């Protein structure tokens, strides 16, 4: 979906204007505080990125999809409909811009689209993008600014005012994210330490000098890889609460990587495994993603991996 939005944005130079019948003359609601101003700025920015596709989009469906993403709901459009709608939308935007229509012979007419499906498709992507700051903004104000901007109405913020608000908002969001990450890191470190202290006494659990814990689920009979080797594995990764954050299956099958290119707990643990074995690893936060975490894992999280070593490459 990100590639779709990038493609749409690249075609925005001569994008079509919104029909006058859909125009909103201007906003009538004043912005009462920093939250309103930030929300309004976000709406203006989103509108500018969506302008080339706005003619083909139902804004009510768009808002519903954004709200659904904020609530963590399943997509409101099927994968097949999303793929078909996305392709058709790109073709229509290209045709309006005067560029060749992707996948169509010169002079051909672009396909029609269901505006509701376009709204659901684009709204889901925008919702995911805004989800990290959803607590900092009000969606009704975002939508107010978006509608006015798309309609060519007079916005409550000038471009200069929006630029200043954007800078301050970005700094505030970064500060809040840093504070939340620090709190999560403290909490996860304590929970991990408590769990690992109890887990080390479980029958069949072994502990290495680094603090890595493991259990042999199935022993293998092949050679053991060196830390510099490349391996093929099946794996499943979960947090201590059992939630799955990654599996080789969701990427289409066995994964291949160098043992010197992964987190330290993997490098150490997989190097102990003979080919054909399946181990379970409990990896302390300092042997995983540490105090920084990553996009899907909070700082200092203890991770649980079931790993099956298939081959040394």
pLDDT for 70-120, tens place per residue?
999 999 999 999 999 999 998 888 888 877 666 666 667 788 999 999 999
40 is catalytic: no
What is the spatial distance between Cα 91 and Cα 97, in angstroms, rounded to a whole number?
A: 10
Identify the active-site residue in 18, 40, 289, 297.
289
Identify the active-site residue in 195, 245, 257, 311.
245
Tell me the domains of the chain and their CATH numbers. 2-157 (no CATH), 196-312 (3.10.50.40)
214 is catalytic: no
138 is catalytic: no
Confidence check: pLDDT of 51 > 90: yes
Give tens-digit pLDDT for 214-234.
999 999 999 999 999 999 999
Mean pLDDT of the chain: 89
Residue 120 CA: distances (Å) to CA of 45, 95, 124, 264, 274 = 19, 22, 6, 41, 48
pTM for the full predicted model: 0.65
62 is catalytic: no
312 is catalytic: no
Q: Are 278 and 245 in contact (CB under 8 A)?
A: no
Average pLDDT over residues 18-34: 57
Average pLDDT over residues 147-153: 95
Nearest to 216 by CA among 304, 281, 303, 302: 281
Residue 133: which residues within 8 A CB-CB, separation 6 or more? Answer: 42, 173
Confidence check: pLDDT of 1 > 60: no
């Amino acid at each position: 979906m990100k590639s779709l939005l990038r493609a749409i944005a690249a075609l925005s130079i001569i994008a079509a204007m919104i029909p006058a019948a859909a125009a909103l003359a201007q906003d009538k609601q004043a912005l009462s505080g920093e939250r309103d101003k930030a929300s309004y700025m976000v709406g203006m920015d989103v509108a500018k990125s969506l302008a080339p596709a706005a003619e083909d989009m139902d804004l009510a469906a768009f808002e519903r999809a954004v709200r659904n993403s904020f609530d963590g709901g399943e997509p409101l459009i099927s994968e097949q409909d999303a793929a078909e709608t996305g392709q058709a939308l790109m073709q229509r935007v290209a045709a309006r811009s005067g560029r060749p229509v992707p996948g169509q012979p010169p002079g051909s007419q672009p396909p029609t689209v269901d505006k509701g499906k376009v709204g659901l498709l684009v709204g889901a992507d925008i919702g995911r993008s805004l989800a990290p700051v959803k607590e900092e903004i009000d969606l009704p104000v975002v939508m107010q600014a978006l509608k006015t901007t798309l309609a060519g109405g007079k916005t409550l913020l000038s471009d200069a005012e929006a630029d200043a608000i954007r800078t301050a908002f970005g700094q505030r969001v970064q500060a809040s994210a840093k504070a939340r990450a620090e709190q999560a890191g403290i909490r996860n470190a304590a929970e991990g330490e408590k769990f690992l202290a109890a887990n080390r006494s479980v029958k069949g659990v072994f502990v290495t000098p680094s603090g890595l814990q493991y259990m042999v689920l199935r022993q293998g009979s092949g050679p053991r890889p060196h830390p510099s080797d490349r391996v093929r594995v099946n794996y499943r990764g979960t947090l201590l609460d059992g939630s799955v954050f990654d599996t080789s299956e969701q990427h289409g099958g066995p994964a291949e990587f160098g043992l010197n290119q992964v987190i330290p707990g993997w490098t150490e643990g997989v190097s102990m495994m003979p080919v054909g074995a399946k181990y379970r690893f409990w990896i302390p936060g300092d042997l995983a993603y540490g105090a920084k975490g990553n996009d899907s894992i909070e700082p200092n999280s203890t991770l649980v991996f079931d790993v099956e070593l298939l081959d040394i490459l």
